[in-house]
Amino acid sequence: MALRADWLPALAAFEAAARHQNFAHAAEELHLTASAVSHHVRKLESRLGVSLFQRHARGVALTPQGRQLADAAGTALADVDGVLRSLRLAREERDRVRITTLHSLAYTWLLPRLPEFAHAHPHIQLSVDTEIALARFDDSGPDLGIRHGAGHWPGLTSHFLMADALFPVTSPRTPGVEAIAEPAQIAELPLIADHARQGWHDWFRAAGVHGRKLEERYTFSDTTDALMAAAHGLGAALAREQIVVPYLRSGQLMRLPGPKMTARWSYYAIYPAHRRLRPAARAFLDWLLAVEKD
């Protein structure tokens, strides 16, 4: 006897009733009435010509034939559910893009622009990782990364995003800031540093200031923390042009006298050279390459 599609509702109702050994509980799970579940079971029994349940005052119990069908139906429906779940997860993974980037860049540059991407690609899910440690681009790793460097990393394809520059900033509320008129005087303020490869010594040299003792009073591992320290009036920080824009626009920070020093490194979008980007990741990369740079 071939299994026809119109048997499926009855089999689903029977499988739930067999699991619960109770028509009312099965009905609650299936969003049906107990009488509807009973009707499906009786319809199945009529077609098969066997009794699947023994009905008694305290409820129902499976007959030997019912137990045989319940085992087969339960296994089959579990298999179908597993395949459906796998297909659903595969679809979700297909539309998910995993990104690794610097916390400072995500906070001040990427996040303000993401609504534009979300509007253009509402079906794409983004996972953004801002851990300090460099991500491993293996099969379980991120799809794309944004890195600050020279543009060449073994095993990775890189696309130039934007250049960078450095200049000093501080809060308008920093004590003594009103007296700063030239680069050399910045050394009199408490200096705030991060772990960047270019720092205050490089900038003062580019500004033509020599022979000054430079004391970095505060050092932070993350550029965002260094800028926030400056915004709170702790001293002067050496800001990255692409990261400091929101602080300058809001008035939390102001630029101090002196040149804008071109950074040795730039920002690049990267991904494994051996792995072809999935369509969702390619869409995000194309958007990155086209997004307006401040």
pLDDT at 90: 55
How does pLDDT run across 1-41, given as a tens digit for each residue?
A: 556 667 788 888 888 888 888 888 888 888 989 899 889 88
* Helix pair angle (8-20, 34-48), 10° resolution: 110
| Phi-psi category of residue 172: left, alpha or beta, with phi > 0 → left and psi -120 to 50 → alpha | alpha
pLDDT at 79: 77
pLDDT at 160: 95
Q: How many CB atoms lie within 10 A of CB 41?
A: 24
Given a contact cutoff of 8 angstroms between Cβ atoms, the answer to whether 167 and 257 are in contact is no
Structure tokens at 115: 């609504």
Say how many residues make up the chain.
294
| Phi-psi category of residue 271: left, alpha or beta, with phi > 0 → left and psi -120 to 50 → alpha | beta
Question: CA-to-CA distance for 145 and 281, rounded, in angstroms?
Answer: 11
Question: CA-to-CA distance for 289 and 268, rounded, in angstroms?
Answer: 10
How does pLDDT run across 257-275, given as a tens digit for each residue?
A: 999 999 999 999 999 888 7
Beta bridge partners of 56: 59
Band the pLDDT of 294: cuts 50, 70, 90.
Answer: low
Question: CA-to-CA distance for 97 and 257, rounded, in angstroms?
Answer: 42
161 pLDDT above the threshold of 60: yes
